[in-house]
Amino acid sequence: MSAAPVFTWTDRYKLGYERMDDTHRDFVEKVDALLTAGDDALLARLDDFIAHADAHFGEEKEWMQTTGFPAADCHIDEHAAVMKSVHEVRELLAGSPGPRAFAAARSLGRALVDWFPGHATYLDSALSAWMCKRVYGGKPVVFQRD
Instruction: By CB under 5 A, name the binding residues for Fe ion.
Output: 60, 124
Of 32 and 60, nearer to Fe ion (C-beta) is 60
Q: How far is the CB of 3 from Fe ion (least distance, A)?
A: 25
Q: How far is the CB of 99 from Fe ion (least distance, A)?
A: 32
CB under 8 Å to 81, separation ≥6 — which residues?
none
The 10 Å Cβ neighbour count of residue 91 is 11
Q: How far is the CB of 43 from Fe ion (least distance, A)?
A: 24
Of 46 and 112, nearer to Fe ion (C-beta) is 112
Separation between Cα atoms, residue 20 and residue 23, nearest integer Å: 5
DSSP secondary structure string for all residues of 11-63: GGG--S-HHHHHHHHHHHHHHHHHHT--GGGHHHHHHHHHHHHHHHHHHHHHH
Nearest-CB residue for Fe ion: 124
Of 50 and 104, nearer to Fe ion (C-beta) is 50
Q: What is the DSSP letter of 139?
A: P
Of 64 and 101, nearer to Fe ion (C-beta) is 64
Q: How far is the CB of 107 from Fe ion (least distance, A)?
A: 21
